[in-house]
Amino acid sequence: MSQAKTGDTVKIHYTGTLEDGSQFDSSQGREPLEFELGSGQVIPGFDKAVAGMAVGESKQVTIPPEEAYGPHREQMVQEVPKTALPPDLSPEIGMALSARGQDGAEMRLTVTEVGDDTITVDANHPLAGKPLNFDIELVNIA
């Protein structure tokens, strides 16, 4: 039976959970996730977990932050005056915003605190700094 290797196009079903058991993503009820193994289309730890699996095989893995979305970096958390926001915007905790960085690239921000005159936004990926648990089933190798 062949095993998935770098360069193969694979299809997998997966469920991702955090340490507290809360689910953050799943392919269940959808088409399987398809990607080229080793191409950088998924987080590095996910590539490593699928490599060597055979069709029909299932496994559970925990991917550390370093092989997922990286550490949570405090320098990516900033306090912003409400006067810098559009006047019709009512910020709420958990709200997603976007802004342009100094290099012109668009950044996704999450509102983490709302004060009287300022808000705190976090430009880290929402899963940065967290170990991720996955149940993975390899469905197909092409």
CATH number at residue 108: 2.40.10.330
Q: How many domains does the chain have?
A: 2
Residues 19 and 48 in one domain: yes
Residues 60 and 79 in one domain: no
The residue-averaged pLDDT of 118-141 equals 97
Domain CATH for 63: 3.10.50.40
What integer pLDDT is reported at residue 101 of this predicted model? 78
CA dihedral in degrees (99, 105, 110, 111; nearest 10)? -30
Between the two ends of the chain, the Cα-to-Cα distance in Å is 13
Where are the extended beta strands (E) located within the chain? 9-17, 23-26, 33-36, 58-63, 77-81, 96-100, 106-114, 118-122, 132-141
Q: What is the pLDDT of residues 13-47, one digit of tens each?
A: 999 999 999 999 999 999 999 999 999 999 999 99
What integer pLDDT is reported at residue 102 of this predicted model? 81
- Domain coverage including residue 106: 74-122
For residue 4, is it within any domain?
no
